Amino acid sequence: MGIFDALNTSVSGLQAQSFALQNISGNIANASTVGYKGIGTSFEDLIPSSATPEKQAAGGVTSYAQQTITTQGTVSSSQVSTNMAITGDGFFDVQKPTGITDNVPTFDGVTDYTRRGDFQLNANGNLVNGAGYYLMGVTVDPKTGNPTGSVPQVLQFQNNFIPAQATTAITYAANLPTTPATSASTSATSGTLVADGGLNPNNFSQNPLMIGTPSAAVTNTSASGLTVDNQLAVPAPITGATLLSGASGTDSISPGFTAGPPADTITVNGKNGVQTLTFVTTGPTTANTILTTDSVSTLLAKIDALNGNTTNPSTVSKGVITLNSGTASTTVGTNVVPTPLTVSSSNTNAFAALGLTSGVTVTPGGGGTPGSGVVVANDESVFTSESISGGAVTAYDSTGTAVNLQLRWAKVDSSALGSPHQNTWELFYQSNPNATGSQTAWVNAGTAFTFNANGTLTSPSGSTITLNNVAVGNQSVGNLTFNFGSGGLTQYASVSGTATINQIQQNGYSAGQLQSVAVNNSGLVVGTFSNGQNLDLAEVSLSHFNGTNYLKALDGGAYAATDQSGTAIQGATGSISGSSLEGSNTDIADEFTKLIVTQQAYSANTKVITTADDMVQNLLSVLR
């Protein structure tokens, strides 16, 4: 190797350092370019061949570009909702139009890849980044949230319209107060259900409670005592009954009850709480005493007074007792089909004295159809005074018409009245806000919600009930699933005495027009519609490569696949951040350091050329 070889080697050094300088200058120039990946320089020595190592001489140099695509840039927040950044592995799938026809871009079907995420919505509804690349992804059904395909396409969101969706489910969570603060409770008789914030069906022209309300049996509490509860529902026939001591159909109590001591008693566990009626031999009597010589009619009137039944008096006629207790209608006896009323005693004569010969009929206080489950307009003021608000939700029918669904809770039984009473509530919804007279204004949901002493729900055992054929006014909503979940309904003490609504949502909406789009942190394009709904419209596609750093760089921060990078693989481990941008991965301090080294190396190569030139000049001087 001679002087002229040294000149050539220095020239290769100058070329290599010039290439490095070019990359450094490009990196510094793109220090603020979104998604830019710096290009490093790799040097490779060129050693001339030699027969022996002792004669081996240093050779020239060549340079190559070294990609840093896998090096993450800094992610920062952005005020643009459609901007996005990838953290970790992955590229956005993009295409660049080859032309514009009728103001619509045309594509050649070639997919490129980029980390540049400064996408914004253009006039045609495409998401385009700052370098003109169009975002690709998979569209999503806005109603189901499921992808409509698997092959990424250029996304377009323009004049998207969603049809109305009828409400099919209501999600509800609330705490019902232990003692409801109703307007009727402030003036009700102490010890009654109404005073405890409950609802008394005797105050209604038509019993609004569901059939099969939680109840207690008619049982005897002493040898000749009878417990009359305001809710009767324990099935058993009457047995052992005998005729009255007198002629059939007489209205005489004796000889069934005695004044004692100990005196026979009747315990009335009714609307006014637990009351005791005691038999005496002489008068005058009080509300809680009755003569043994009185008539059965007087006895029933006394029971009605203690029970709080003032609407339909109990009667006796031809040996049949009609006992109005307020919430259930049953008939039992020797000559009729047994239904829910149990009377048992070791002293059958005591019950025979009540005329239990051909049957006992129990009808609801207040009259009307037993357990109709509706509140008519004439009873609406009473209903609102004996119940509490359960909140309201705007539901939608099949056409997307809004329906204001009002809810109210009524406490229909309370453990404060003593055993066997339980804390029981029933739910109502308003079916006709403009109802008048005997028209239905509120409808019972048909389920008794029972809570134990610690305030947790014991019945129903599931987490949902169905509101059948819901209609408000003339708008039919259909069947609704009322989902209160596990632990969603509780009964804890509340100072205000009102229901605390923790959640009330429904799944319907009216038709809507697309207003704007944004990208969330799950890589989903979310559309905001004129009906207030935020629905998923598309899923942004990510791709990755086995040889990422061997991708071919294109203008605008895009890359094309090469043989060395391998083909694109759908899916990537990286995650998308919405309203964010990934900056350049260029390190200015590092580039300046490289710049100094490159400058010194370039100068050194020029010095070698100068020295070689001097040596050639000296050689030429020899010939002179």
The CATH number linked to 377 is 2.60.98.20
Comparison of pLDDT for 295 and 360, the residue scoring more: 295
Window from 105-119, 134-148, 538-552 with minimum mean pLDDT: 134-148
Window from 233-242, 327-336, 400-409 with minimum mean pLDDT: 233-242
Which pLDDT score, from 0 to 100, does residue 335 have?
A: 29
The verdict on 223 and 362 lying in the same domain is yes
Which pLDDT score, from 0 to 100, does residue 624 have?
A: 63
Res 350 pLDDT > 90: no
Rounded to an integer, the average pLDDT of 247-260 is 54
The verdict on 155 and 248 lying in the same domain is no
Tokens of 128: 């385009």
pLDDT digits (tens, 9 = 90+) for 524-572: 999 999 998 899 999 999 999 999 999 999 999 999 999 999 999 999 9
Pairing verdict, β 169-175 and 475-483: parallel
Q: Which amino acid is at 178?
A: T
Window from 86-95, 345-354, 426-435, 578-587 with minimum mean pLDDT: 345-354
Instruction: Give me the half-sphere count of Cα atoms (radius 13 Å) on the Cβ side of residue 331.
Output: 7
Rounded to an integer, the average pLDDT of 453-463 is 94
Residue 299 lies in a domain: yes
Residue 209 lies in a domain: no
Res 358 pLDDT > 60: no
Which pLDDT score, from 0 to 100, does residue 315 have?
A: 65
Which pLDDT score, from 0 to 100, does residue 260 have?
A: 67
Comparison of pLDDT for 380 and 2, the residue scoring more: 380
Question: Domain end: 350, 369, 388, which one?
Answer: 369
Q: Which amino acid is at 167?
A: T
How many separate domains does the chain show? 4
The verdict on 133 and 240 lying in the same domain is no
pLDDT bracket for residue 225 (50, 70, 90): very low
* End-to-end CA separation in angstroms for the chain: 25
Q: Which amino acid is at 566?
A: G
Tokens of 175: 């705490």
pLDDT bracket for residue 356 (50, 70, 90): very low
pLDDT bracket for residue 312 (50, 70, 90): low
Look at residues 341, 340, 330, 377 and name the one whose alpha carbon lies nearest to residue 208: 377
pLDDT digits (tens, 9 = 90+) for 360-405: 333 333 333 446 789 999 999 999 999 999 999 999 999 999 999 9
Res 425 pLDDT > 70: yes
The verdict on 376 and 435 lying in the same domain is yes
Distant-in-sequence, close-in-space partners of 619: CB < 8 Å, separation ≥ 6? 3
The range of the structural domain enclosing residue 282 comes to: 214-369
Report the distance separating Cα 429 and Cα 473, nearest Å: 12
Res 487 pLDDT > 60: yes
The verdict on 417 and 492 lying in the same domain is yes
Question: Domain end: 319, 334, 369, which one?
Answer: 369
Residue 553 lies in a domain: yes
The verdict on 220 and 338 lying in the same domain is yes
Res 326 pLDDT > 60: no
The verdict on 236 and 322 lying in the same domain is yes
Residue 448 lies in a domain: yes
Is the alpha carbon torsion for 241, 245, 250, 255 positive or negative?
A: negative
The verdict on 466 and 576 lying in the same domain is no
Pairing verdict, β 273-280 and 153-154: unpaired
Report percent pLDDT > 70 for the chain. Answer: 79
Which pLDDT score, from 0 to 100, does residue 279 have?
A: 77
Res 484 pLDDT > 90: yes
Tokens of 584: 């350049």
Residue 207 lies in a domain: no
The verdict on 229 and 300 lying in the same domain is yes
3-state secondary structure of 47: coil
Res 45 pLDDT > 80: yes
Window from 308-322, 324-338, 385-399, 501-515 with minimum mean pLDDT: 324-338
Which pLDDT score, from 0 to 100, does residue 237 have?
A: 28
DSSP 371-392: TB-EEEGGGHHHHHHTSEEEEE
The verdict on 109 and 181 lying in the same domain is no
Res 322 pLDDT > 60: no
Q: State the CB neighbour count (10 A cutoff) for residue 86.
A: 25
Distant-in-sequence, close-in-space partners of 572: CB < 8 Å, separation ≥ 6? 86, 88, 89, 90, 91, 542, 543, 544
C-beta of residue 499 within 8 angstroms of C-beta of residue 459: no
- 371 Cα distance to chain centroid: 33
Biggest CA pair distance of the chain: 169
pLDDT digits (tens, 9 = 90+) for 94-109: 999 999 888 889 999 9
Question: Domain end: 304, 337, 369, which one?
Answer: 369
pLDDT digits (tens, 9 = 90+) for 181-217: 999 999 988 888 899 999 988 889 888 987 433 333 3
3-state secondary structure of 398: coil
The verdict on 576 and 589 lying in the same domain is no
Residue 206 lies in a domain: no
Residue 205 lies in a domain: no
Which pLDDT score, from 0 to 100, does residue 224 have?
A: 33
The verdict on 246 and 232 lying in the same domain is yes
Comparison of pLDDT for 525 and 326, the residue scoring more: 525
Residue 422 lies in a domain: yes
pLDDT bracket for residue 160 (50, 70, 90): confident
